[in-house]
Amino acid sequence: MEQELAEETETQEVTPDAELAAAIMKRHLRPSLIKSEAWEGYMFSDLEIKIKESTDCYGAVLWPSAMVLCHFLETNQENYNLVDKKVIEIGAGTGLVTIVCSLLGAKVTSTDLPDILGNLRYNCSRNTRGRCRYEPHVTELTWGQQLEERFPRASCRYDYLMAADVVYSHPYLNELMETFEHLCSEDTVIFWTMRFRMDPENRFVDRFRARFHLEELYDLPSLHIKLYRAQKKVSGSKSHSGAAA
């Protein structure tokens, strides 16, 4: 058991790549060419989710990592029941993960940089109003900044932290790590989809592994994406199996 814990990445039932990737990509609906407003459609929880994008910046585009995470959450509700759970999403972008978590019954705090929040709020409101137990709360979280002031550890305890495609060639990887560490208690379960691009940023996974128990849930080479489940390492702790479900 101790040996297992010391092992950094465990591979559990990695599903065949091509079939799974195709099932995930089918969630993206092709909108009709004639429409009054630009949006992309996605199908989760038997509902059509309309996402407004913009090509201005990374946060205004929906990335495949978000679809991978949403597919996992929707198809693993028995193992990870989000009803009434406290969830925080970092780098939420256009909001698909936040929306799907809300449709699955969670109380979600959805965060990103200030410039992203207008579109994120619009997408969240449009897709969750009247459809969810709890409408998501959208607020700024700039990685590494004012963490204790805005998200005090004593009162902000989350069952789950969601992160889709937050590691790429930006200069805030240390701040991102600090944010993961600040927001997670020993019970918080992280679901993180990592899109592998360039070596320098890919090494973030090894740094992350030094601080969190990391378990690989999906490996999708055709999309260059892995989905991890992670939990903070606690000194002296012997178990990391305490899912919040």
Ligand X SMILES: C[S@@+](CC[C@H](N)C(=O)[O-])C[C@H]1O[C@@H](n2cnc3c(N)ncnc32)[C@H](O)[C@@H]1O
Nearer to ligand X, 159 or 165 (CB): 165
Contact residues: ligand X, CB under 6 A: 58-59, 62-63, 65-66, 91-94, 112-113, 116, 141-143, 164-166, 168, 170, 172
Quote the least distance from Cβ 143 to ligand X, whole Å: 4
Quote the least distance from Cβ 57 to ligand X, whole Å: 7
Nearer to ligand X, 142 or 202 (CB): 142
Q: C-alpha dihedral over 18, 193, 92, 241, to 10 degrees?
A: 130
Pairing assessment for the beta strands 107-112 and 40-44 based on DSSP bridges:
unpaired
Amino acid identity of 29?
Answer: L
Residues 6+ apart with CB under 8 A from 206: none
Amino acid identity of 134?
Answer: Y
Are 136 and 104 in contact by the 8 Å Cβ rule? The answer is: no
Nearer to ligand X, 70 or 82 (CB): 70
Quote the least distance from Cβ 70 to ligand X, whole Å: 10
Whole-number Å distance between alpha carbons of 144 and 175: 4
Quote the least distance from Cβ 235 to ligand X, whole Å: 28
Nearer to ligand X, 166 or 240 (CB): 166
- The SS3 assignment for 152 reads coil
Longest dimension (CA), the chain: 60
Nearer to ligand X, 132 or 164 (CB): 164
Q: What's the token pair of residue 224?
A: 């260059």
Quote the least distance from Cβ 56 to ligand X, whole Å: 11
Nearer to ligand X, 143 or 158 (CB): 143
Quote the least distance from Cβ 3 to ligand X, whole Å: 35
Quote the least distance from Cβ 142 to ligand X, whole Å: 4
Can you tell me which residue has the tokens 């010391």?
Answer: 6
- The SS3 assignment for 231 reads strand
Whole-number Å distance between alpha carbons of 182 and 144: 9
Nearer to ligand X, 141 or 177 (CB): 141
Amino acid identity of 161?
Answer: L
